[in-house]
Amino acid sequence: MAAKKDNLPLSLQKEDDSTGTIIYANEVIAVIAGVAANEVEGIAGMCTSGGISEVFSRNRNITKGVKVEIGSEEASVDLYVIVEYGTPIQTAALNVQENVRKAIETMTGLHVVRVDVHVQGVSFDKENKEVQAGIDSAELGKVSDGRDQKDKKIPSQGKEPPVETSQTAEDGGEGTPMMPEA
């Protein structure tokens, strides 16, 4: 009988540490960067690098306004953003740089050497929406009981008779209530 060998390894390791390479498409890094940039408070959206200051919706094409250069272990990103009015631009840009760097390094393992933020414009959409909402609510002015803010009554079957008024030159044409004659 052959001698039993107890010290055989259960799994064999390769002598060569090379298991292959991982190559990321520029589009993958651009999507990661675009999503991370749009998560930052105060960023209205991304725009094309040609200087067009049109704000694209965040979900329509997330890679608009993102340029990526990838090496074997490093990445560099250029972002073209539009900032919401009232947001400190430097703060928003620094937050974009940090968020994009963290997202790319966490998801891919690539070292991000640069995140350049190019502010292409300022969006007034958020402010305009707030102003319009205020105007709309002032125009509507509806109270939950069916009356507006000026307490005008809604016509109903049991409405009160109108009060008669008279106009004189002394009161400037303003109506004064008349007392019914006895």
Least confident residue range of 4-8, 17-21, 80-84, 141-145:
4-8
Overall domain count for the chain: 1
Judge whether 35 lies within some domain: yes
Judge whether 59 lies within some domain: yes
Are 80 and 46 spatial neighbours (Cβ–Cβ below 8 Å)? yes
CATH, residue 111: 3.30.70.1350
- Comparing CA positions, the residue from 68, 73, 67, 66 lying closest to residue 111 is 73
Are 28 and 104 spatial neighbours (Cβ–Cβ below 8 Å)? no
Positive or negative: CA dihedral 123, 127, 133, 138: negative
**Prediction pTM value:** 0.58
In the prediction, which pLDDT does 19 show?
84
Judge whether 92 lies within some domain: yes
Write out pLDDT tens, residues 147-177: 555 555 555 555 555 555 555 545 555 555 5
Distance (Å, whole) CA 116 – CA 33: 11
**Which tokens is 136 given?**
């709309």
**At 57, is the pLDDT very low, low, confident or very high (cuts 50, 70, 90)?**
very low
β-bridge partners, 116: 78
In the prediction, which pLDDT does 29 show?
96
In the prediction, which pLDDT does 3 show?
52
In the prediction, which pLDDT does 177 show?
54
Q: Which helix (H) or strand (E) holds 16?
A: none
**At 110, is the pLDDT very low, low, confident or very high (cuts 50, 70, 90)?**
very high
Q: Which helix (H) or strand (E) holds 27?
A: helix 26-38
Q: How many CA atoms lie within 13 A of 122 on its CB side?
A: 9
- Comparing CA positions, the residue from 75, 50, 85 lying closest to residue 64 is 50
**Which tokens is 172 given?**
């400037």
Domain that holds residue 78: 26-128
Judge whether 159 lies within some domain: no
In the prediction, which pLDDT does 10 show?
45
